[in-house]
Structure 1
């Protein structure tokens, strides 16, 4: 049970790490995921919400990710 739970948490950590390192100018703007202005009707599309989520993860999770990565690395080194 604990092995499956740790594996799931580790995969989630790797996914958040991958979202956090995406560069908006180099990668996201090329595929059309740069910052966009909302439509004239004031409704946000799913794509705009995902862009906002990526931006929020990059901004808010930078410092906590450092600590979580250190904990994960220590756990893997000490307990294998």
Structure 2
């Protein structure tokens, strides 16, 4: 098995899929990573610059953004990947 650009892109697609399928009610809130665990006012703007956020709140925002923005592109990318794998064998 060789390491190619396609295998790197496929691995990235799998990671984004893993982030996208995390269920907030079943999994994220139980470990304290739900949307309601981010402190209100954690990202207030002061003088044109955002206040520094904790790493945990940045990861929570990233997970929520991936789940929101990447829903339809993931459907298309997964479909294209499956078709390519079926055709290539």
- Normalised by the length of structure 2, the TM-score is 0.80
Cα 1:25–1:78, aligned 2, differ >3 Å: closer, same or farther? same
User: After the TM superposition, which parts of structure 1 deviate over 3 Å for at least 4 consecutive aligned residues?
Assistant: 38-43
Q: Higher helix share goes to which structure?
A: 1
Any stretches of 5+ residues in structure 2 without a counterpart? 45-51
Decide whether the 8 Å contact of 2:17 with 2:74 is kept in 1.
yes
- The answer for unaligned runs of 5 or more in structure 1 is none
Higher mean C-alpha deviation, range 28-37 or range 61-70: 28-37
Structure (1 or 2) with the greater strand fraction: 2
Residues 42 and 53 of structure 2 are in contact (CA less than 8 Å); yes or no, is this contact kept in structure 1? Answer: no
Q: How does 1:1-80 map to 2 (within 5 A)?
A: 4-35=4-35, 36-38=38-40, 43-80=52-89
Q: How many equivalent residue pairs?
A: 79
The CA distance in 1 between the partners of 2:56 and 2:40, in whole Å, is 11
Q: TM-score, normalised by structure 1?
A: 0.88
